[in-house]
Amino acid sequence: MDFSFTESECDLVSLCREFAQKEIAGRAPKAWEEARCPTDLLREMGALGLLGILIPEQWGGIGMSTVGFVAAMEQIGLADQSVAAAWQAHVTIGSLPLYLFGNDAQRERWLRPLAEGRALGAFGLTEPDAGSDVRGIRTRAVRRDGGWLINGQKTFISNAGTDMSFGVTLLARTEATEGQEPAFASFVVEKDTPGFTMGPKMRGIGWRGLDTRDLFFDDVWVGDDHLIGDPAMGLSQFLRTLEVGRISIAALSLSLTQAVLDMATDYARQRVQFGQPISKFQAVQFKLADIATELEASRWLTYRAAYLRDTGEPFLKEASMAKLKASRVAAWAASEAVQIHGGLGYMLETPVARFYCDSKVLEIGEGTNEIQHLVIARTLGC
């Protein structure tokens, strides 16, 4: 198996490293402090081509491989997790449904601005009464006046409420009456559509630079041209894009683990207690060695899932495994890295504290880790 990067993947990694270190690392922490989505940085990433990373050139993207995307994420996430989180939500669930299931007119209208980095994409699935249990969503679209009338509420939706957002692609039930065989479909609802409103930006433990909100749909009417893909296949369509989302969260987790490992190692080598750097204590060394080893294990699970997608193989199981492993490692490593920093690690003045706050959500978003267990167990025949 060959995981070495192609020339264009290498070029992409250098570009991301430079931009992440020179621009994101310096500017994003302030946005996190102020709980503001740094759309200025996202627009600049758009100009570099990064917002269309997984979309072919035909639709304004750069047509990068999934392996290249993981490698790019490792660089972006090292600098800031909120920016990386907003980026990945845009790239995967925000853009892929339009690319994979939209028709050419829809791709031209909504996908191209996303891929060219002029707008930010969002997907609305989760509702107050339906998270893991996707089929439990209540938002409903019914036939009306040659189009669709949408009513319902979405919650925890990323990227829909920024000054760069175009609106949202959402999943709604479409069976004509209750009690009928359930059917689901995806619709685009642009911002400023009458009846579409939003709550304030929610306050998370971490990812404070990510814009996450409640979305409300009260008699929102959209034309047939806003229906994405097969009106009955919306759910399975969306679940397919989630598979890529899992690789993406795994990659984001890798970057977090690398970041906290670097910080903890640097700190351990310079912090002196009992007359020597604490890195000389075996208890500290073993923590660092464990983090490094677990990171490497999760890294290769993630690259393998990405590689399978690139070669057209099934990757459902591998993507779930990568997400499960890498996010667990990240949350654990962040806690250990704070421990190595002692009291300083607890203070938000220290970057490791920010990454610690950002780590928990990795075990929740894009399918909780319990749901990853279910997916993996199902592939085992349970």
Partner 1 sequence: MNIAVCVKQIPDPAVPGELDPESHTLHRVGKLILDESDSFGVEMALQLADKAGGGDVTLISMAPNNEVSGLRTALAMGAAKAVLVSDPALAGSDALSTAKVLAQAITRAGDVDLVLTATESTDGYTGTVPNQIAQLLGWPSLTFAKHVEVEDGKLTIRRQTEAGYDVVESSLPAVVSVTAGVVEPRYPSFKGIMAAKNKPVDQCTVADLGLSSDDVGWSGARQEITNVAAAPAREAGEKVEDDGSAHERIVAFLEALKVI
Ligand X SMILES: Cc1cc2nc3c(=O)[nH]c(=O)nc-3n(C[C@H](O)[C@H](O)[C@H](O)COP(=O)(O)OP(=O)(O)OC[C@H]3O[C@@H](n4cnc5c(N)ncnc54)[C@H](O)[C@@H]3O)c2cc1C
Instruction: Please tell me whether residue 24 binds partner 1 under the rule CB under 8 A.
Output: no
Contact (Cβ atoms closer than 8 angstroms) between residue 306 and residue 67: yes
Among the listed residues 72, 125, 278, 305, the single contact to ligand X using CB under 6 A: 125
Contact (Cβ atoms closer than 8 angstroms) between residue 54 and residue 69: yes
Measured from the CB atom, the residue of 78 and 89 that comes closer to ligand X is: 89
Distance of CA 345 to the CA centre of its chain: 26
Shortest distance (Å) from residue 106 CB to ligand X = 20
Shortest distance (Å) from residue 20 CB to partner 1 = 11
Among all residues, whose Cβ is closest to ligand X?
A: 131
Measured from the CB atom, the residue of 91 and 295 that comes closer to partner 1 is: 91
Measured from the CB atom, the residue of 115 and 371 that comes closer to ligand X is: 371
Measured from the CB atom, the residue of 48 and 183 that comes closer to partner 1 is: 48
Contact (Cβ atoms closer than 8 angstroms) between residue 301 and residue 223: no
Applying CB under 6 A, which part among 104-112, 155-163, 187-195, 230-238 lies near ligand X? 155-163
Give 324's Cβ-side CA count (13 Å radius): 15
3-state SS, the chain, equals CCCCCCHHHHHHHHHHHHHHHHHHHHHHHHHHHCCCCCHHHHHHHHHHCHHHCCCCHHHCCCCCCHHHHHHHHHHHHHHCHHHHHHHHHHHHHHCHHHHHHCCHHHHHHHHHHHHCCCCECCEECCECCECCCHHHCCCEEEEECCEEEEEEEEEEEECCCCCCECEEEEEEECCCCCCCCCCEEEEEEECCCCCEEECCCCCCCCCCCCCEEEEEEEEEEEEHHHEECCCCEHHHHHHHHHHHHHHHHHHHHHHHHHHHHHHHHHHHHHCEECCEEHHHCHHHHHHHHHHHHHHHHHHHHHHHHHHHHHCCCCCHHHHHHHHHHHHHHHHHHHHHHHHHHCHHHHCCCCHHHHHHHHHHHHHCCCCCHHHHHHHHHHHCCC
Instruction: Please tell me whether residue 157 binds ligand X under the rule CB under 6 A.
Output: yes
Contact code string over 332-371 relative to ligand X, x by CB under 6 A: -----------------------------x--xx-xx-xx
Applying CB under 8 A, which part among 42-50, 124-132, 322-330, 349-357 lies near partner 1? 42-50
Measured from the CB atom, the residue of 8 and 379 that comes closer to partner 1 is: 8
Shortest distance (Å) from residue 38 CB to partner 1 = 16
Shortest distance (Å) from residue 116 CB to partner 1 = 10
Instruction: Please tell me whether residue 14 binds ligand X under the rule CB under 6 A.
Output: no
Measured from the CB atom, the residue of 42 and 122 that comes closer to ligand X is: 122
Instruction: Please tell me whether residue 124 binds ligand X under the rule CB under 6 A.
Output: yes
Shortest distance (Å) from residue 17 CB to ligand X = 26
Q: Which residues contact 191 (CB under 8 A, 6 or more apart)?
A: 160, 165, 166, 167
Instruction: Please tell me whether residue 121 binds ligand X under the rule CB under 6 A.
Output: no
Contact (Cβ atoms closer than 8 angstroms) between residue 302 and residue 322: yes
Which one from 294, 336, 363, 366 is the annotated catalytic residue? 366
Instruction: Please tell me whether residue 220 binds partner 1 under the rule CB under 8 A.
Output: no
Applying CB under 6 A, which part among 40-48, 51-59, 122-130, 260-268 lies near ligand X? 122-130
Shortest distance (Å) from residue 53 CB to ligand X = 18
The β-bridge partners of 196 are 217
Is 366 designated active site? yes
Instruction: Please tell me whether residue 199 binds ligand X under the rule CB under 6 A.
Output: no
Instruction: Please tell me whether residue 49 binds partner 1 under the rule CB under 8 A.
Output: yes
Shortest distance (Å) from residue 266 CB to ligand X = 29
Instruction: Please tell me whether residue 18 binds partner 1 under the rule CB under 8 A.
Output: yes
Residues serving a catalytic function are 366
User: Which spans of this chain sit near ligand X (rule: CB under 6 A)?
Assistant: 89, 122-126, 131-132, 156-158, 204, 207, 212, 361, 364-365, 367-368, 370-371, 374
Residues engaged in binding partner 1 (CB under 8 A): 8, 11-12, 15, 18-19, 44, 47-50, 57, 62, 64
